[in-house]
Structure 1
């Protein structure tokens, strides 16, 4: 069985949430060397902000599953 892409995304998002840091954590997400988006996690508000680069759009989520699904769609061109 192939490794789950969604599982890998969730692990990266979870790592942002479980860190001891109090400042905003951010991660870039790429496909084939092209940066598709960036996610920031704010521990003060427990929210994720997803910035998509093409087209330039920003979304805010308070649910890890929803941001993971949006990232999966962004990275798989669905």
Structure 2
């Protein structure tokens, strides 16, 4: 059985949320060595900000599932 890509994305997002850090944390997401986007988590507001690089767009989420789905779409889009 193939490893779940969505599960791996969720684990990275959950690690950001579970951290004791008080400052904004960010993670970059790539496909085949090309950066596709970056997610920042702000613990003060409990929100995720997704910046897609192509096209250059920014989205804000307060739900971990929604940002994970958007990232999954971004990384699996051909």
Q: 1:59 Cα deviation (Å)?
A: 0.0
Gaps of 5+ in 1: none
Deviation at 1:21, TM superposition (A): 0.3
- What TM-score, normalized by structure 2, do the two folds share? 0.99
Aligned residue runs from structure 1 range 19-58, under 5 A: 19-58=19-58
The count of aligned residue pairs is: 78
Instruction: Write out per-residue CA displacement over residues 20-67 of structure 1, whole angstroms, 9 at most, x where no aligned residue.
Output: 000001000000000000000000000000000000000000000000
1:60 aligns to 2:60 (yes or no)? yes
Q: CA separation in 2, counterparts of 1:20 and 1:2?
A: 32
Using the alignment, how far apart are the partners of 1:46 and 1:36 within structure 2? 23
- Report the RMSD for the aligned CA atoms in angstroms: 0.7
Superposition misfits of 4+ residues, deviation over 4 angstroms: none
Give the TM-score normalised by the residue count of structure 1.
0.99
- Paired residue secondary structure (2:67): helix
